[in-house]
Amino acid sequence: MQVAVVLYDFVEPIEVAIIGTLSMAKRLSADLSYFTVSEAGGIVQLQNGLRVDTDFSFHDAPSSDVVIVTGGPGWRAQSTNPGMLAFLQARSAHGACIASVCTGALILAAAGLLSGKRATTKVPVVAPETCPLDTLCQSFPDTEGVPALVVDEGNVITGGGVSLCIDLTLYLLARFLGQDIAHETARIMEYSAASDANRARLPVLQGLAAD
């Protein structure tokens, strides 16, 4: 399982927890590898100033089984960025599973990857911000927006907002590497109780194409 984590300017720094979760899982499985990718490669500036040096550009990134699109205030610019949309469309066409966390779902929707599917995204906001789930439903009426922990539609998987990026990553580990790896990853990163609590309050929805 090779994972590409897509970063761009003004991603929320908490979503780097995706990489932290993958790092913990790599202790348990030699079958896991991952890298970061951005449009131009090199440095991207996350929300509130954190700078991250990404491994590859869209042009030179290796193939991957999974692509995870992060979220944050920069999603609006990325949803109209031809380079971002073309990258996701091409990866999807070549058989990669495309996943998103938080407002990354709105980028997937803009790329046409959520048409005719159910999807989730961030729900709680600080006024006067607009709820991203409402934005998804209003802007992309061919997508059924639902509040959920994870929505698995087979080749496209969306996760809830902010810290739920960890739950989405654990879900992907379970799907591609098995439940034992996911459960042990949650245990060693001291997230088992939080994972159980999140599953108790939010559904995991699986489409007919999901494993």
Q: So where are the chain's domains?
A: 2-199
Evaluate whether 21 touches 166 at the Cβ level (below 8 Å). Answer: yes
What tens-digit pLDDT sequence spans the chain (211 residues)? 999 999 999 999 999 999 999 999 999 999 999 999 999 999 999 999 999 999 999 999 999 999 999 999 999 999 999 999 999 999 999 999 999 999 999 999 999 999 999 999 999 888 888 899 999 999 999 999 999 999 999 999 999 999 999 999 999 999 999 999 999 999 999 999 999 999 999 999 997 543 3
Q: Which CATH superfamily is domain 2-199 in?
A: Class I glutamine amidotransferase (GATase) domain (3.40.50.880)
- Alpha-carbon distance values, 154 to 90, 93, 167, 170, 205 (Å): 17, 14, 17, 16, 11
Largest alpha-carbon pair distance within the chain?
Answer: 46
> Does the global pTM surpass 0.85?
yes
The two tokens of residue 139 are 């802007």
Active site (catalytic) residues: 102
Evaluate whether 42 touches 53 at the Cβ level (below 8 Å). Answer: yes
